[in-house]
């Protein structure tokens, strides 16, 4: 299932872009994948996943249990490379701009984030360090999906300000890599569901802060072949 999950969004995004928007749409898609020149401050987004993961785990380790001590599996970064590069072609490259034509940033990204979380359903019991999760699987899946939805909103927020699919891919790589690198190695399924739930709550708090303090005030940027619609507020 893992190869199908990685290749599905990328091939579908490329195919539907070509079918609906033609060659110009594909040129635009690949141009956004090469867009890396923007103010350096936007690259700070790559620090969000590791900082949030480590903060949550250190708090839980200090005040709850030593079992939450973060791991240092540095090769885990490689787990995010294919996931971030391939999946974002479909999620941010194709699906998000079309949802954005109908909805404001927050609901558009949250809807896509929900589907992103559900996309992991076939393999959810193999994710994390506590696999299999047994009776805690529903709680872990709910916490995982909530975290993915919040991360999707963060990816969308940075994408709106840079129009860079490359940055979205890098944030996805950072997110997946951080979870693999730092996930506690000997944790129980109950503990894993707990820390994912707290991680999701922290991410949603960050989402609310960003969207409240720095509201989007630019017009929608549309892909070729799409009719313009009015921009909606948060």
Q: What is the pLDDT of residues 133-154, one digit of tens each?
A: 999 999 999 999 999 999 999 9
**The pLDDT of residue 188:** 94
**The pLDDT of residue 2:** 82
Tokens at 230, concatenated: 């009015």
**The pLDDT of residue 217:** 59
**The pLDDT of residue 117:** 95
Distance CA 57, CA 198 (A): 9
Look up the pTM and report it.
Answer: 0.90
DSSP state letters, 118-180: HHTGGGGGGSSSS-S-GGGHHHHHHHHHHHHHHHHHHHHHHHHHH--HHHHHHHHHHHHHHHH
Question: At 184, phi and psi to the nearest 5?
Answer: -55, 130
**The pLDDT of residue 167:** 97
Tell me the three state secondary structure of residue 10: helix
Enumerate residue ranges in the chain where pLDDT < 50.
Answer: 218-234
Distance CA 88, CA 93 (A): 6
**The pLDDT of residue 63:** 96
Which of 51, 52, 57 lies closest to 69, judged by CA? 57
């Amino acid at each position: 299932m893992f190869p199908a999950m990685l290749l599905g969004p990328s091939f579908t995004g490329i195919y539907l872009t070509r079918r609906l928007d033609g060659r110009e749409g594909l040129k635009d898609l690949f141009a956004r994948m090469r867009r890396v020149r923007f103010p350096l401050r936007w690259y700070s987004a790559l620090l969000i996943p590791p900082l949030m993961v480590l903060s949550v785990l250190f708090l839980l380790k200090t005040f709850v249990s030593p079992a939450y001590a973060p791991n240092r599996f540095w090769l885990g970064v490689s787990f995010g490379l294919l996931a971030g590069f391939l999946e974002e072609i479909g999620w941010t490259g194709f699906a998000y701009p079309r949802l954005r034509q109908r909805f404001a940033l927050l609901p558009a990204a949250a809807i896509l984030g929900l589907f992103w979380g559900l996309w992991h359903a076939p393999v959810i019991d193999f994710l994390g360090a506590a696999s299999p999760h047994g009776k805690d699987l529903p709680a872990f899946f709910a916490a995982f999906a909530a975290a993915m939805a919040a991360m999707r909103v963060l990816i969308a927020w940075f994408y709106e300000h840079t129009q860079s699919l490359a940055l979205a891919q890098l944030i996805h790589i950072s997110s997946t890599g951080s979870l693999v690198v730092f996930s506690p190695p000997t944790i129980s399924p109950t503990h894993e569901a707990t820390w994912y739930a707290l991680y999701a709550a922290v991410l949603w708090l960050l989402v609310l802060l960003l969207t409240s303090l720095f509201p989007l005030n630019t017009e929608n940027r549309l892909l070729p072949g799409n009719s313009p619609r009015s921009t909606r507020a948060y």
